[in-house]
Amino acid sequence: MIISIVLLSIIILRVTPTSGNVLWEFPESFKFGVSTAAYQIEGAWNISDKGENIWDRLTHTRPSVIWDESNADKTCDSYHNYERDVEMLVELGVDFYRFSISWSRLLPTGFSNQISKQGLAYYDDLIDELIHFNITPLVTLYHWDLPQTLQDLGGWTNPLIVKYFEDYARVVFENYGDQVKNWITINEIPQICVDGYAKGINAPQVSANGIGDYLCAHHALLAHAKVWHLYNDEYRHSQGGRVGIVIYTEWVEPESTSKEDIEIAERGMQFLIGWQAHAIFSSEGDYPKVLKDAVLNRSLDQGYASSRLPTFTEKEIDYVKGSSDFLGLNYYNSIMLWNTKNKFVELKFIVPSREDDLGYDSYFNENWTKTISPDFTVFADGLKYVLKWVKKEYNNIEVIITENGYPSYPGLGDLERINYINQHLIAVWDAMINNDCNVTGYSVWSLMDNFEWISGYGICFGLYEVDFKSEARIRTARASALVYEEIIRSRTIKPNYFRNVSQVESKTSTLIILLNMEYI
């Protein structure tokens, strides 16, 4: 049965399912959500006594590094529009909302000597609103926006950051722990450490390849463990919550089924996922042996007296190991690694660097679907393979897919995003049902369009489109929001929700989207 709907840009429609064969059904215990991050949506960068963070500093002093020379001074203005944000969550029917707390909004100096009353009130109001509508808060303590005061002291390369992070977490647990039961310490170590402290791409734009990234990640892992133990020792009994970490993941697809190519791909997985997760989730703890050996050997070859990869003490290995109640995975796409023996490609790397330590460069399979971003392709099966790898490597730890999203241009008829979500949820279902992977939730990135870091506002990830030219930052549901709402309501995936989507302009310049919906 085909239903044609005219969706005006100012109207949010409800999707009514028709009869059909359901192919993929999720258990009632499985939770659906959406994700955002404080700096990307809040705006109000200098409201009340909020302190400056590293992205405030970067976008104000070096705007040219952002694709459209924009900033997040106002962005979605969720600081003033949080009630509308929660309204959208209610429209979608999500089980949980993953958002982050701005360290510098809560602690203007970066230290716990000064706690902002306005900052406390903002997050208190947001959490209250979520709980009022039975939406579970999943709160991230750190999503890339370090207080500039701490960066001035070295940021994540300063070992004292472990203590500073614990002090910040204590303030958060003390004030919100009675209501929030699901915490994430740190989001995506590679993006923080490689892009921020090695390649000089993201804030704070430190260029220290092969040194800054390893040092930053080492301290991030220790800081995570410190906060997990803080909660476990002082708050778990009275508050009854749990604490996890989110890692960035890609599936490294072997170039062939040969033993050599499979070993190359496994090496890539250990350099990416193992670097972030092995010390926490493996039975032996510490960094993966292949990573330790590779960095040590390259370091000695380069004339260093010891490995550029910091070393955990035996006490630290035991302290970090097991310090997480669940694993959050952010997955967008997969990669392949050049096998130079097969391709006869001469690879030249910055020395030192993680790429040089790994010994292989990455690329996208030409058969994978391309997107508008050169950094993203579509290979949904990669998510299933990652989940199977994590199950085998880390004793089937509980996994929540904390980010999964598709970049697009503005417009409400986002068929590609719909297909992307469907395909990746099918991959999750397959991993759960056919491979017994312990996956308990899935979250779309993102609830709405926002400031996408160095991409600025040039690409859109939102289920809701945001009109950044309007003072009120008007949010409008995309087609993908309507489909995701139906997925959550029915807890099923049906193929070809939207057979085709076309856009036309009316004579009054009102954007009209013709949605031909077909349930099979």
Q: Is the peptide bond before 19 cis (omega within 30 degrees of 0)?
A: no
DSSP 8-state code for residue 153: T
Q: How many CA atoms lie within 13 A of 409 on its CB side?
A: 1
DSSP 8-state code for residue 74: S
Residue 403 is a catalytic residue: yes
Q: 84-90 contacts: CB < 8 A, separation 24 or more?
A: 84/475, 85/36, 85/41, 85/447, 85/448, 85/475, 86/126, 86/129, 86/130, 86/133, 86/135, 88/447, 88/448, 88/464, 88/475, 88/477, 88/481, 89/34, 89/130, 89/133, 89/135, 89/447, 90/133, 90/135
Predicted local distance difference test score (pLDDT) of residue 348: 82
Q: How many CA atoms lie within 13 A of 219 on its CB side?
A: 21
Residue 346 is a catalytic residue: no
Taking every pair of C-alpha atoms in the chain, what is the biggest distance, in angstroms? 72
The topology under which CATH files domain 2-495+509-518 is TIM Barrel (3.20.20)
Predicted local distance difference test score (pLDDT) of residue 474: 98
Three-class secondary structure of residue 419 per DSSP: helix
**CA distances to 89, 137, 145, 163, 457 from 177, in Å:** 22, 11, 22, 20, 34
Contact 404, 332 (CB under 8 A): yes
Residues composing the chain: 520
Predicted local distance difference test score (pLDDT) of residue 76: 98
Q: Where are the domains of the chain?
A: 2-495+509-518
Strand-pair partners of 500: 516
Helix, strand, coil share (%) of the chain residues, nearest 5: 40, 20, 40
Q: Which residues contact 239 (CB under 8 A, 6 or more apart)?
A: 173, 177, 178, 181, 231
pLDDT in tens, the chain (520 residues): 222 333 333 223 333 344 445 589 999 999 999 999 999 999 999 999 999 999 999 999 999 999 999 999 999 999 999 999 999 999 999 999 999 999 999 999 999 999 999 999 999 999 999 999 999 999 999 999 999 999 999 999 999 999 999 999 999 999 999 999 999 999 999 999 999 999 999 999 999 999 999 999 999 999 999 999 999 999 999 999 999 999 999 999 999 999 999 999 999 999 999 999 999 999 999 999 999 999 999 999 999 999 999 999 999 999 999 999 999 999 999 999 988 766 666 778 999 999 999 999 999 999 999 999 999 999 999 999 999 999 999 999 999 999 999 999 999 999 999 999 999 999 999 999 999 999 999 999 999 999 999 999 999 999 999 999 999 999 999 999 999 999 999 999 986 554 444 432 222 223 333 333 333 2
Q: Give the H or E element holding residue 246.
A: strand 242-249
205: left (phi over 0), alpha (psi -120 to 50) or beta: left
Predicted local distance difference test score (pLDDT) of residue 311: 98
Q: How do residues 130-150 score in pLDDT, each as one tens digit?
A: 999 999 999 999 999 999 999
Predicted local distance difference test score (pLDDT) of residue 349: 92
Q: Give the H or E element holding residue 287.
A: none
Contact 363, 255 (CB under 8 A): no
Predicted local distance difference test score (pLDDT) of residue 505: 29
DSSP 8-state code for residue 107: S
Predicted local distance difference test score (pLDDT) of residue 71: 98
- Candidate list 188, 255, 452, 465, residue with the active-site label: 188
Predicted local distance difference test score (pLDDT) of residue 232: 98
d(CA 81, CA 43): 10
- Candidate list 129, 250, 403, 416, residue with the active-site label: 403
Cut 0.75: pTM above it: yes
d(CA 484, CA 410): 18
Predicted local distance difference test score (pLDDT) of residue 515: 39
